[in-house]
Amino acid sequence: MPYRQRAGAPPIGVVVVGMMLHEVVAQSFLAQHRVVLVGASENPKSFGNAIYRELRAHGYEVVPVNPNSEIVEGDLCYPDLEPVAGFHRAHRTIRHLNGSIAKAS
Protein backbone atom coordinates (compact mmCIF):
# COMPACT_ATOMS: atom_id res chain seq x y z
CA MET A 1 0.00 0.00 0.00
CA PRO A 2 1.53 3.36 -0.98
CA TYR A 3 2.16 5.96 1.70
CA ARG A 4 -0.56 8.59 1.96
CA GLN A 5 0.22 11.79 3.71
CA ARG A 6 -2.58 12.97 5.94
CA ALA A 7 -4.23 16.23 5.07
CA GLY A 8 -2.58 19.28 6.57
CA ALA A 9 0.61 17.42 7.56
CA PRO A 10 3.93 19.07 6.67
CA PRO A 11 5.86 17.50 3.77
CA ILE A 12 7.99 14.50 4.72
CA GLY A 13 11.24 16.38 4.10
CA VAL A 14 10.27 19.08 6.59
CA VAL A 15 9.46 16.46 9.24
CA VAL A 16 12.81 14.73 8.71
CA VAL A 17 14.72 18.03 8.88
CA GLY A 18 12.85 18.93 12.07
CA MET A 19 13.71 15.55 13.59
CA MET A 20 17.36 15.96 12.59
CA LEU A 21 17.47 19.39 14.23
CA HIS A 22 16.02 17.90 17.42
CA GLU A 23 18.73 15.23 17.29
CA VAL A 24 21.41 17.90 16.83
CA VAL A 25 20.03 19.84 19.80
CA ALA A 26 19.97 16.68 21.95
CA GLN A 27 23.53 15.76 20.94
CA SER A 28 24.71 19.29 21.60
CA PHE A 29 23.05 19.22 25.03
CA LEU A 30 24.63 15.88 25.93
CA ALA A 31 28.06 17.00 24.71
CA GLN A 32 28.17 19.71 27.37
CA HIS A 33 29.96 18.91 30.59
CA ARG A 34 27.97 21.39 32.64
CA VAL A 35 24.22 20.98 32.99
CA VAL A 36 21.76 23.17 34.89
CA LEU A 37 19.04 21.00 36.42
CA VAL A 38 15.93 22.97 37.32
CA GLY A 39 13.91 21.00 39.84
CA ALA A 40 16.84 19.24 41.48
CA SER A 41 15.80 18.09 44.94
CA GLU A 42 17.41 17.24 48.24
CA ASN A 43 14.83 14.45 48.72
CA PRO A 44 16.64 11.21 47.75
CA LYS A 45 13.33 9.61 46.66
CA SER A 46 12.42 12.39 44.21
CA PHE A 47 12.81 12.29 40.44
CA GLY A 48 14.85 15.51 40.51
CA ASN A 49 17.36 13.95 42.89
CA ALA A 50 17.59 10.73 40.86
CA ILE A 51 18.33 12.69 37.67
CA TYR A 52 20.87 14.79 39.55
CA ARG A 53 22.71 11.70 40.83
CA GLU A 54 22.63 9.96 37.42
CA LEU A 55 24.07 12.97 35.63
CA ARG A 56 26.81 13.27 38.26
CA ALA A 57 27.55 9.53 38.02
CA HIS A 58 28.06 9.95 34.27
CA GLY A 59 30.63 12.72 34.74
CA TYR A 60 28.49 15.82 34.28
CA GLU A 61 28.97 18.93 36.38
CA VAL A 62 25.40 19.52 37.53
CA VAL A 63 24.20 22.89 38.81
CA PRO A 64 21.05 22.37 40.90
CA VAL A 65 18.30 25.00 40.75
CA ASN A 66 15.29 24.88 43.07
CA PRO A 67 13.81 27.74 45.12
CA ASN A 68 12.80 25.26 47.83
CA SER A 69 16.25 23.72 48.42
CA GLU A 70 19.51 25.16 49.67
CA ILE A 71 21.66 22.04 49.26
CA VAL A 72 21.33 19.05 46.90
CA GLU A 73 23.63 16.09 47.51
CA GLY A 74 26.05 18.39 49.35
CA ASP A 75 26.16 21.01 46.58
CA LEU A 76 24.88 24.58 46.78
CA CYS A 77 21.45 24.84 45.14
CA TYR A 78 20.50 28.08 43.40
CA PRO A 79 17.00 29.51 43.98
CA ASP A 80 16.63 30.55 40.31
CA LEU A 81 18.58 30.78 37.06
CA GLU A 82 19.71 34.40 37.45
CA PRO A 83 22.92 33.74 39.45
CA VAL A 84 24.00 30.73 37.36
CA ALA A 85 27.12 31.72 35.41
CA GLY A 86 26.79 31.27 31.66
CA PHE A 87 23.02 30.80 31.73
CA HIS A 88 22.21 33.91 29.69
CA ARG A 89 24.55 32.88 26.85
CA ALA A 90 23.04 29.37 26.84
CA HIS A 91 19.52 30.82 26.91
CA ARG A 92 20.28 32.89 23.79
CA THR A 93 21.64 29.74 22.07
CA ILE A 94 18.50 27.77 22.93
CA ARG A 95 16.27 30.56 21.63
CA HIS A 96 18.30 30.62 18.40
CA LEU A 97 18.04 26.82 18.00
CA ASN A 98 14.31 26.90 18.72
CA GLY A 99 13.90 29.58 16.05
CA SER A 100 15.78 27.40 13.57
CA ILE A 101 13.58 24.41 14.34
CA ALA A 102 10.44 26.51 13.96
CA LYS A 103 11.61 27.78 10.56
CA ALA A 104 12.36 24.23 9.37
CA SER A 105 8.94 22.90 10.33
Rounded CA Rg of the chain: 18
Cβ–Cβ under 8 Å, residues 6 and 32: no
This prediction's pTM: 0.58
Question: How would residue 103 be classed by pLDDT, with cut points 50, 70 and 90?
Answer: low
| pLDDT higher than 90, residue 18 | no
| pLDDT higher than 90, residue 46 | yes
Write down the CATH superfamily of domain 32-104: NAD(P)-binding Rossmann-like Domain (3.40.50.720)
Give 73 or 95, the one with higher predicted confidence.
73
pLDDT (0 to 100) of residue 13 = 45
Q: Find the helix or strand (DSSP H, E) in which 72 lies.
A: strand 71-72
State the average pLDDT for the chain: 74
Q: What residues pair up with 35 in beta bridges, in sequence order?
A: 62
Boundaries of every domain in the chain? 32-104
Q: Residue range 49-76: average pLDDT?
A: 92
pLDDT digits (tens, 9 = 90+) for 74-97: 999 999 888 777 665 555 555 555
